[in-house]
Amino acid sequence: MNQVWIRHQETGGTAQVPESAVPIYRQSNWDVMSEADVIEMEKRLTREAADAEQAMTAPAPAPEPAAEAELGPSPAPRKSASKETS
């Protein structure tokens, strides 16, 4: 069974479906994607995944000293409302 990629004309959503189901999907504004469109989609998804992976492994930038001064002192920790009795 051959699978093809289709794209919804209004939402831009994509799906891979059996080629025999294409006529049914066409009734709901889906159209078969060209091979060039599929290749571009795969490249874009690969690039986005690599960018996301790099963002997760990159060290966080150090906070600027001015930003810390603007925040002011941190509030005191809350004390428990209940008191222990001995």
Report the chain's C-alpha Rg in angstroms. Answer: 27
* Cα separation of the two ends of the chain: 76
Q: Which residue has the tokens 């051959």?
A: 2
* Every domain of the chain and the residues it spans: 3-58
Which pair of structure tokens corresponds to residue 56? 């997760």
Q: Report d(CA 59, CA 53) in Å as an integer.
A: 12
**Could you give the C-alpha distances from 32 to 4, 22, 46, in angstroms and in order?**
7, 7, 21
For 22-67, the pLDDT digits (tens) are 999 999 999 999 999 999 999 999 999 999 999 888 777 777 766 5
The beta-strand segments (E) located in 44-84 are none
* pTM score above 0.85: no
* The pLDDT value given to residue 85: 58
